[in-house]
């Protein structure tokens, strides 16, 4: 056969016409099988499996002598043996069989490897079908290429030991376990012609996220979405223990799967002397049966029956480390936890151990698998599908190839009218919801909103004008089923893990979306965020991986307004968590009002390869900036609000009042108002920060300011009282090398909170207007010396406000009704689409 | 009846003799029921339920007029209505019925409220059984007490709207959903006479952690542990959506529960006209049946049959907001998501709405529930058990009451011999494991180790000399079941959520334990840590809550040595996450070697009310300090290592080389070695930090140094090159107000890593010895001017080391074999219990 490396059509990295690909995919989707698998095909499957196993063992152990063309010597073996064998042969088995079925049915398929530790297996399969050499041209299809393939694995400067961004065909790292099914379903949504074969490790199956992700099938539309085939890889052992699902009765396991909404098909092999062809025949027949069942579901759906079927799944019970040495040093290895990692960890220490390794490698018959030059045997290659249909080359697994820009409306069309600052009020996410409604209207098949039962609570309910929550469990009727339909752009399940996992799968296969959640509970996915950020960071440096849409968070139930919920719902630390990751992939925005939120989100939806964290409260709050001002402000990322300050032209201010976040902005403006009235001789500069990364040094973050820019805005030597949305230290961290850093005094959340009124909450944390004024007095030398009276009045105002809330259960009127003084009482006269703050305050309509 | 407030025996806060309590608990445990429930009892149940519902609605709505002794006026209603009604009546129903059963059987029982949003219900029940007034003396049992009870709820200065630390009888906050069953099982372990009734919300049931926690039953020893009765509160709705488990077929739900290892008992009520007594009769009979089933399991276990039974559970299907208004403003409310929160959010706006509220409250017949003075009707009080048997007063739910100090061995007995610094090697956690073995031996029933399949991987396997991993799924035999037994002190399930949740439940009920996990994946429980830290912070200020043992983490598979795993397993950010919480509850330790780890852990196991994070690598590493030195060093928390530096007495150093963490300490010592040899004229001070909180200001953390102390150690003006285990910013954050902060140059993890050799890893992040020397040269003015040659040699050394790893796959010998020069080659001559580094390096025995 000809080398595939010269065929650009076959590479996942080459130019691709998404429309053409989709049309080809649709033409052959969901074909039935032929119903028979001949012995020749079974032999090809067997050979592919054998070759993949050989290449896997080779990667783990060999530094040289890749084809065993000479006796194995100690120096051929890597000095440090790092990798995981246990799950690998099972993954290879499944890949080989899927290859057969994909080729026969021409069914576009991707392979999600839950047990991502089995990295060598996926690399092996991608090498066998030719993809690997296409994307990595130095890993050639000959003996030297094999040597490089082996050496690079889990080796300094080489590739990771897990399935990783470096692995062609993967959208799933699998180092941190639990997300295989969520990723698989995310990939399947809106890909009606795609089959996602998702291998679930039985260790992984013990994690919480995986345990609930089986229920994803209640959120699938069988017509518009693709199909997920879960395969439970029940090999029985983890690092040092059996797995729970392997040690319950067959009946319980079957019931569990039925309870999850699946029809289980149980396959067991490798525990007796059954010959390989017989095993392969049984599995091929079973796989055909399952794929035909899926095809039947698709047919019924195409015929209009969208009710949730019982989806098939496979229980794949095989020995851990299957085909490896049965025993090592007299201890059972294959079929035990001892096969989890490197079963023969001492291959270099004695000739006997070296012989075990050599026998093991020879058991796969490498001479039958590769020709004299080391090229993969034609029969093996012939098993796999060709071109984009190879699971390692399927464009869905390199989503940037298929990514289409969103058709975005002009966000300016949704602007809030702001005749003068803080004269109108809005719930910013509600306004964003109107914009997103139009986004959904224009992008009916590649944009989704994910959230744990909180889309309306987070004020995006306008989107229900054009879409619904997708749901495919039972319905009860419109009286109680609120915007619930079998197809819709909003995905709600009460699991942050599911929302994040679905969205990741959706993005990595080339689509767009956002995740709206409570700020405190987004910590639930801290670890998933880590993995996604790492994925993006690594893919930025892999040329054949194309950029994907950013992962956008909207955290609108934030720390400062947890009226129904209190202390357990207060935590602004996700931002701190996020900024630990590489600057090249994270962005944090704190738009202070509705227009800045619109501008920010437009930017986020156009961006690529970032994680964008946007925090914007859902409670009624003043609009500060007109749309033109908002665009300018967001473009700068931060700026001086001259209208709010009291500095004269050509003069340095006495003090800078800085703010980041909506609630801090309100308090800073109220403090500035007090200072204008009470201390008119004080020159106050008000600075607002939208893009938090602007505070960092330009050398540390691409959005960072130079020191000169920073000094121009914040001054080099004046006191800066900084009211910040989150934990105060982050501001210090971002600015600690700035000239004025010793003058920065930050007020933020200090883990003091309980159920209170809004102002009581900011008072508890010393972020309130009165305290900010006190801070200013304390830090401006001449004011400190002369303003004891004003300071005392501020202390009294706090005490009065506190007493009021304790008695009345709501904020003191002077706070509740405060508006920016330039505009007097117009707030309550505004009868436009935006509710005034007072009108909304009493409704208690704040869900959850 | 007499007031219970005067009876100190009855209060959970009073003095308690744990032994006496345990004996009483054992005497009556697992009695069978009488088999009949008479109408009088049913009426008492009905009345208790009615009263609890009344008190719940009262808390949500009323500011005054608590007994409706005058017509309800607008001013009687709170201006801000905050709370959750939907789940509350169901919780009250279950509580009432359990009261009956607990009293009849004298069965020690605690109640875990998964749907913790139903806070008013638990407060109501605690008030009805008298506990509430006992622990909060101003909430008296009269009309004024009721007024205060109502007003305080979700009110500034009052109590949170959720079940919370303030709620008597609770060990579970329930604001963040998903941990009810994990907490329940944690409470049940080693409490053989305790029943834990665990209500699981059907919203909560969608979360990952809850979905896997059903499998906890495979880890229960039916003789030595208590019994958990899960009750799935299937009321069908979340904030805005139906729940998944309510919208699958009855058969699927039943199969799911069987698959989870339970015998489901389905109860349904509230959807038709069945009268209340009939409903109560049906449930009482069902509850008796279930409790008898549990008693039978206990009897079988007592008779020696420890095999896992199918444990009963109850599916409790009732309308959301049961007994509330059927419709409000023409929209179905009860039995829909609209009942989730405050169903009548507008009670103050119109007379009609006010009348709805008044009718609703009157529907419970308050005049029958309270006497003329507002005291709870005797019949209601008579339903509940008395004293410690009241679920709100059960001492297990205020674990500090039952807490016994651990019997700890002298950790010095496990000391590593350190004749001179860095002359012997150890895997520090392995040494700790020997100490823990003795801890387990001496504390066979109140100390457990929790971990996700990693106890041995994390090197604590010595404990298996005296205990095993507790497991009660199927066994296969010793060939493959490694230290797996039906009873054991080690709890391993591949779910960090389960480990954390179990441990929290175990600690909050008055026991001790630790959680060992991979550093990167401990982020999986970031959010659970948040909630536990908040719980501790709040309980510190609740006098009747007694201190519990600290939650101890051991993170020994840390960022710097993820040899098998690579980038996905590298994240040291948990420390950053932890230090965001209140200083009064968090501690972070980075012991540099085995002896300091022993000393640190002894301290942790004696401490109370903290979260202790201990990071200590599991790879062979040098021992630096003898035990006496280690104790002194750990007591100080940080200190100068004079033997490692090169400063002369009475002279300030030219530079401070500081380190925190084992790998950074090794690199700093190697750098100090180079500097002594290459630049003997340079006066280097070496400082090691064990207790990270020492770096903070004394005003911010109780462990913090004063500025004078800090300057004495770190100098006020000399350059400090600080090699730190984690993200470098944390060191800046902790020290940003110190005099010398502008001189601190931190090297730490910068999110650059992949699968490499150990030294390649530290080089990637510029934390290696050569780079530290370069840093020193760059920051010491005269060295910078004169040491271009040395600097160049360091650059070359790095290049050489990198090239070596790329070629050989292991570290360059000059690095691999480096030892502290004072001791030459004694490392390899040490034949004691500690393996030398070289001997261990090649085994690849690093699991997972």
Residue pLDDT, tens place only, B443-491: 999 999 999 988 888 889 999 999 999 999 999 999 999 999 999 999 9
- B843 part of contact set with chain A, CB < 8 Å: yes
Share of chain B above pLDDT 70, in %: 95
What tokens were used for B817?
Answer: 């074999």
Tell me how far apart the alpha carbons of residues B617 and B428 are, in angstroms, rounded to a whole number: 7
* Residue-level pLDDT at B455: 84
Partner residue opposite B156 with nearest CB, options A177, A249, A805: A805
- Substitution target in A241, A541, A749 with the highest count of B β-carbons within 10 Å is A241
Task: Please determine, for residue A194, whether its predicted confidence score (pLDDT) is greater than 50.
Answer: yes
Share of chain A above pLDDT 90, in %: 86
* Residue-level pLDDT at B822: 67
Hey, which residues 214-253 in chain A have their CB within 8 Å of chain B?
A: 215, 218, 237-244, 247-249, 251-253
What tokens were used for A358?
Answer: 């050599």
* Residue-level pLDDT at A745: 96
Strand B425-426 and strand B621-622: the pairing is antiparallel
Give, as one character, the DSSP assignment of residue B833: S
Summarize the confidence of residues A617-633 as an average pLDDT: 96
Hey, which residues 273-332 in chain B have their CB within 8 Å of chain A?
A: 331-332
The verdict on a CB contact (< 8 Å) between B255 and A258 is yes
Residue pLDDT, tens place only, B209-219: 999 999 999 99
Residue pLDDT, tens place only, B36-78: 899 999 999 999 999 999 999 999 999 999 999 999 999 999 9
Task: Please determine, for residue B587, whether its predicted confidence score (pLDDT) is greater than 80.
Answer: yes
Residues of chain A positioned with their CB less than 8 A from the CB of B206? 212, 215, 493-495, 498
Summarize the confidence of residues B680-708 as an average pLDDT: 93
* Residue-level pLDDT at B1: 33
Hey, which residues 671-710 in chain A have their CB within 8 Å of chain B?
A: none
Tell me how far apart the alpha carbons of residues B599 and B514 are, in angstroms, rounded to a whole number: 16
User: Which CA distances in Å does B630 have to A628, B421, B433, B522?
Assistant: 63, 11, 18, 27
* Chain A with chain B: Cβ pairs closer than 8 A: 430
- B76 part of contact set with chain A, CB < 8 Å: no
Confidence of residue B6 (pLDDT cuts 50, 70, 90): very low
Contact B261, B307 (CB under 8 A): no
Region of poorest pLDDT, from A70-79, A121-130, A344-353, B185-194: A344-353
Residue pLDDT, tens place only, A58-113: 999 999 999 999 999 999 999 999 999 999 999 999 999 999 999 999 999 999 99
Tell me how far apart the alpha carbons of residues B399 and B397 are, in angstroms, rounded to a whole number: 6
* Residue-level pLDDT at A827: 38
Tell me how far apart the alpha carbons of residues B609 and B553 are, in angstroms, rounded to a whole number: 14
Contact B242, B285 (CB under 8 A): no
Residues of chain B positioned with their CB less than 8 A from the CB of A83? 564
Confidence of residue B528 (pLDDT cuts 50, 70, 90): very high
Summarize the confidence of residues A368-376 as an average pLDDT: 96
What tokens were used for A218?
Answer: 């209640």
Partner residue opposite B757 with nearest CB, options A156, A215, A238: A156
Summarize the confidence of residues B511-526 as an average pLDDT: 97
Residues of chain A positioned with their CB less than 8 A from the CB of B517? none
- B469 part of contact set with chain A, CB < 8 Å: yes
Region of poorest pLDDT, from A504-518, B398-412, B726-740: B726-740
Summarize the confidence of residues B634-649 as an average pLDDT: 93
Residue pLDDT, tens place only, A43-58: 999 999 999 999 999 9
* Residue-level pLDDT at B400: 97
* Residue-level pLDDT at A16: 76
Tell me how far apart the alpha carbons of residues A814 and A812 are, in angstroms, rounded to a whole number: 6
For the CA atoms of B348, B349, B354, B356, the dihedral, rounded to the nearest 10 degrees, stands at -120
User: Which DSSP helix (H) or strand (E) runs through B101?
Assistant: helix B88-105
Between vectors from CA B405 to CA B402 and to CA B408, what angle results, nearest 5°?
Answer: 150
A810 vs chain B: nearest CA distance in angstroms?
7
Please tell me the total number of residues recorded for chain A in this structure. 848
- A537 part of contact set with chain B, CB < 8 Å: yes
Task: Please determine, for residue A503, whether its predicted confidence score (pLDDT) is greater than 80.
Answer: yes
Beta bridge mates, A153? A159
* Residue-level pLDDT at B752: 86
Task: Please determine, for residue A161, whether its predicted confidence score (pLDDT) is greater than 80.
Answer: yes
Residues of chain B positioned with their CB less than 8 A from the CB of A159? 755
* Residue-level pLDDT at B754: 73
Residue pLDDT, tens place only, B225-273: 999 999 999 999 998 999 999 999 999 999 999 999 999 999 999 999 9
Strand B512-518 and strand B551-557: the pairing is parallel
Task: Please determine, for residue A491, whether its predicted confidence score (pLDDT) is greater than 90.
Answer: yes
- Across B497-519, b (16+ Cβ under 10 Å) vs e yields bbbbbbbbbbbbbbbbbbbbbbb
Residues of chain B positioned with their CB less than 8 A from the CB of A212? 206-208, 210-212
B602 vs chain A: nearest CA distance in angstroms?
27
Task: Please determine, for residue B224, whether its predicted confidence score (pLDDT) is greater than 80.
Answer: yes
Share of chain A above pLDDT 70, in %: 95
SS3 of B776, please? helix
Partner residue opposite B810 with nearest CB, options A79, A151, A473: A79
- A262 part of contact set with chain B, CB < 8 Å: no
Task: Please determine, for residue B692, whether its predicted confidence score (pLDDT) is greater than 80.
Answer: yes
Tell me how far apart the alpha carbons of residues B695 and B706 are, in angstroms, rounded to a whole number: 9
The verdict on a CB contact (< 8 Å) between B455 and A155 is no
Domains along chain B with CATH numbers: 41-397 (3.40.50.970), 411-620 (3.40.50.970), 652-817 (3.40.50.920)
* Residue-level pLDDT at B4: 35
* Residue-level pLDDT at A15: 59
Q: Which of A477-481, B270-274, B696-700, B749-753 has the highest mean pLDDT?
A: B270-274
* Residue-level pLDDT at A648: 83
- Substitution target in B79, B210, B211, B839 with the highest count of A β-carbons within 10 Å is B211
Hey, which residues 418-457 in chain A have their CB within 8 Å of chain B?
A: 453-457
- B810 part of contact set with chain A, CB < 8 Å: yes
A701 vs chain B: nearest CA distance in angstroms?
13
Task: Please determine, for residue B838, whether its predicted confidence score (pLDDT) is greater than 50.
Answer: no
* Residue-level pLDDT at A11: 42
Distance from the first to the final alpha carbon of chain A: 63
Contact B758, B619 (CB under 8 A): yes
Query: Global pTM?
Result: 0.96
Closest CA to A93 of A235, A207, A206, A188: A235
Contact A480, B337 (CB under 8 A): yes
Confidence of residue B14 (pLDDT cuts 50, 70, 90): low
Summarize the confidence of residues A555-564 as an average pLDDT: 89
Residue pLDDT, tens place only, A411-441: 999 999 999 998 899 999 999 999 999 999 9
* Residue-level pLDDT at A651: 85
Region of poorest pLDDT, from A347-351, B195-199, B811-815: A347-351
Partner residue opposite A256 with nearest CB, options B243, B259, B842: B259
Specify the residue for token string 């941990």: B179
Contact B425, B417 (CB under 8 A): no
Give, as one character, the DSSP assignment of residue A637: S
B701 vs B148, more confident: B148
């Amino acid at each position: 056969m000809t080398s595939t490396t010269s065929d650009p059509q076959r590479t996942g990295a080459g130019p691709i016409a998404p429309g053409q690909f989709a049309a080809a995919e649709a033409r052959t989707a969901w074909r039935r099988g032929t119903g028979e698998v001949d012995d020749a095909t079974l032999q090809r499957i067997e050979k592919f499996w054998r070759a993949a196993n050989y290449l896997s063992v080779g990667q783990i152990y060999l530094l040289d002598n890749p084809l065993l063309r000479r006796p194995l010597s100690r120096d051929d073996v890597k000095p440090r043996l790092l990798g995981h064998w246990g799950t690998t042969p099972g993954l290879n088995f499944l890949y080989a069989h899927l290859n057969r079925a994909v080729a026969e049915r021409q069914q576009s398929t991707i392979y999600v490897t839950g047990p991502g530790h089995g990295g060598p297996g996926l690399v092996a399969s991608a090498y066998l079908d030719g993809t690997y050499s296409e994307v990595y041209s130095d890993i050639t299809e000959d003996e030297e290429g094999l040597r490089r393939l082996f050496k690079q694995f889990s080796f300094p400067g080489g590739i990771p030991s897990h399935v990783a961004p470096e692995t062609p065909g993967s959208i799933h790292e699998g180092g941190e376990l639990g997300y295989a099914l969520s990723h698989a379903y995310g990939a399947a949504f809106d890909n009606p012609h795609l089959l996602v074969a998702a291998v679930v490790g039985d260790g992984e199956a013990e994690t919480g996220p995986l345990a609930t992700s089986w229920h994803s099938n209640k959120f699938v539309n069988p017509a518009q979405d693709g199909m997920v085939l879960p395969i439970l890889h029940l090999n029985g052992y983890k690092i040092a223990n059996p797995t729970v699902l392997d040690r319950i009765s067959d009946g319980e396991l079957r019931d569990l799967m039925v309870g999850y909404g699946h029809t289980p098909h149980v396959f067991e092999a490798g525990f007796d002397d059954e010959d390989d062809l017989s095993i392969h025949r049984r599995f091929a027949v079973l796989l055909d049966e399952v794929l035909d069942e899926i095809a039947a579901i698709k047919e019924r759906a195409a015929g209009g029956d969208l009710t949730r079927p019982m989806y098939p799944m496979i229980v794949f019970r095989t020995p851990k480390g299957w085909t490896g040495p049965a025993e090592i040093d007299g201890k059972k290895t294959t079929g035990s936890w001892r096969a989890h990692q490197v079963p023969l960890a001492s291959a270099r220490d004695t000739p006997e151990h070296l012989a075990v390794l050599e026998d093991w490698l020879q058991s796969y018959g490498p001479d039958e698998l590769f020709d004299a030059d080391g090229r993969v045997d034609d029969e093996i290659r012939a098993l796999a599908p060709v071109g984009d249909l190879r699971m390692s080359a399927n464009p869905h697994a390199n989503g940037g190839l298929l990514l289409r820009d969103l058709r975005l409306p002009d966000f300016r069309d949704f602007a809030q009218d702001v005749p003068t600052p803080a004269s109108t009020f809005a719930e910013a996410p509600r306004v964003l919801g109107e914009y997103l409604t139009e986004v959904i209207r224009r992008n009916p098949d590649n944009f989704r909103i994910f959230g744990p039962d909180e889309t309306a609570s987070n004020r995006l309910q306008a989107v229900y004008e054009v879409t619904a929550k997708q749901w495919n469990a039972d319905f009860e009727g419109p009286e109680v089923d609120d915007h619930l339909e079998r197809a819709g752009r909003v995905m709600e399940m009460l699991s942050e893990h599911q929302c994040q996992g679905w969205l990741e799968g959706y993005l990595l296969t080339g689509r767009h979306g956002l995740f709206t959640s409570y700020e405190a509970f987004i910590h639930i996915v801290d670890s998933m965020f880590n993995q996604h950020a790492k994925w993006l960071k690594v893919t930025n440096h892999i040329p054949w991986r194309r950029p994907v849409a950013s992962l956008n968070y909207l955290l609108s139930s934030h720390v400062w307004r947890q009226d129904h919920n209190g202390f357990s719902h207060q935590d602004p630390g996700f931002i701190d968590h996020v900024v630990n990751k590489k600057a090249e992939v994270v962005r944090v925005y704190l738009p202070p009002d509705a227009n800045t939120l619109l501008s920010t989100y437009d930017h986020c939806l156009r961006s690529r390869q970032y994680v964008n964290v946007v925090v914007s409260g859902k409670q009624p709050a003043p609009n500060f900036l007109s749309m033109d001002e908002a665009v300018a402000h967001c473009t700068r990322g931060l700026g001086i609000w001259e209208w709010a300050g009291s500095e004269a032209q050509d003069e340095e201010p006495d003090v800078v009042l800085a703010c980041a976040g909506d609630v801090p902005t309100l308090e800073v403006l109220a403090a500035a108002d007090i200072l204008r009235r009470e201390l008119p001789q004080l020159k106050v500069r008000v600075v607002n920060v939208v893009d938090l990364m602007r505070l960092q040094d330009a050398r540390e973050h691409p959005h960072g300011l130079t020191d000169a820019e920073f000094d121009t805005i914040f001054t080099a030597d004046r006191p800066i009282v900084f009211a910040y949305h989150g934990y105060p230290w982050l501001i210090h961290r971002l600015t600690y090398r700035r000239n004025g850093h010793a003058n920065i005094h930050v007020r933020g959340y200090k883990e003091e909170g309980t159920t209170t009124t809004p102002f009581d909450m900011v008072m508890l944390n010393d972020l309130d207007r009165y305290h900010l004024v006190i801070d200013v007095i304390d830090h401006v030398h001449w004011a400190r010396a002369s303003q004891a009276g004003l300071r005392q009045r501020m202390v009294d105002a706090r005490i009065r406000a506190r007493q009021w809330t304790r008695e009345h259960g709501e904020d003191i009127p002077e706070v509740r009704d405060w508006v920016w003084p330039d505009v007097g009482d117009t707030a309550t006269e505004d009868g436009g689409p935006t509710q005034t703050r007072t009108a909304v305050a009493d409704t208690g309509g704040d869900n959850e």
